Amino acid sequence: MSYTHTPVLLTEMLTALNPKSGEIYIDATFGGGGYTRAILSKGARVIAFDRDPFVKQFAQGVDLIQAPFSQMAHYVHEKVDGVVFDFGVSSFQLDNPGRGFSFQSNGPLDMRMGEGKVTAALVVNSYGEKDLADIIYTYGEEHKSRLIAKLIVQHRPFRTTKELADLIAKHVKGKPRLHPATQTFQALRIYVNDELHEIQAGLESALSLLKPGGKIVTVSFHALEDRIVKQFFKAHHLKTNKKHVMKPSKEELKLNPRARSARLRMGMLH
């Protein structure tokens, strides 16, 4: 099976970044390389990052560094015109059952984007009930976090995504049109990959590399990510575009329903 990732808000990202020939950009989340190729097509140079070794195969002829984007300033020793972040998981991570991100297919409880040591299985099978409840509440914004943590402790060990998803579905009533395990899976993924700290450190690293007038463009997929970006732009007095947040058009949503919750922001250094 081959996996692809359809870039989200691609036109909007290009409009916001406006790359030109001779300029240099960092694509902090290379993924399937959709953003990188679009920026390269404008004649600019790109240095790409991704923590997932799987993406190397999409990077022929691309300057790709396999590292968390929080470390980009360790690798890049020149100032850049812009940095773009497209947070979250790619379709090839989500759609590959072996990576354990999805409750819709059965796979090992893994959820690691990179090569970290903490897996979702380690968390659900060994963490205390209170720690589990805190993780599910903080990173999943799940109001039934205590009940879910209790159920997990009572029914563990879990080996697969399906075992965990089925247990939650059996005992917890979800929100309309949302699988009852959605927020728990989001929470585990964010925890396993330390995603919110990565975003904060990634933005700081990006800012330290910007030329005057340089831009940071972000695409976030849930409120926890978006809030960090919004507060970061404010705290550092970055100039934002008139339309602060851009969302996918109806046409894009028709073609790619996964873009549903995407929000693009742009901040420019004075």
Minimum distance, C-beta of residue 120 to ligand SAM, in the bound complex (Å): 16
82-141 residues in contact with ligand SAM (CB under 6 A) are 86, 88, 90, 113
For ligand SAM, the binding residue among 19, 34, 140, 267 (CB under 6 A) is 34
- Our finding on whether 265 is near ligand SAM (CB under 6 A) is no
Residue 226 binds ligand SAM, judged by CB under 6 A: no
176 to 205, contacts with ligand SAM by CB under 6 A?
198
Strand order of the sheet with strand 210-220?
63-66, 45-50, 24-27, 80-86, 210-220, 263-268, 239-240
Query: Which is closer to ligand SAM, CB of 113 or CB of 148?
Result: 113
- Select the residue interacting with ligand SAM from 7, 100, 107, 267 (CB under 6 A): 7
Our CA dihedral for 86, 92, 93, 99, rounded to 10 degrees, sits at -170
The least CB distance from residue 247 to ligand SAM, in Å, is 16
Residue with Cβ nearer ligand SAM (90 or 218): 90
What is the total count of residues that contact ligand SAM (CB under 6 A)? Answer: 20
| Member of 68, 100, 107, 267 binding ligand SAM (CB under 6 A) | 68
From candidates 16, 17, 24, 32, binder to ligand SAM by CB under 6 A: 32
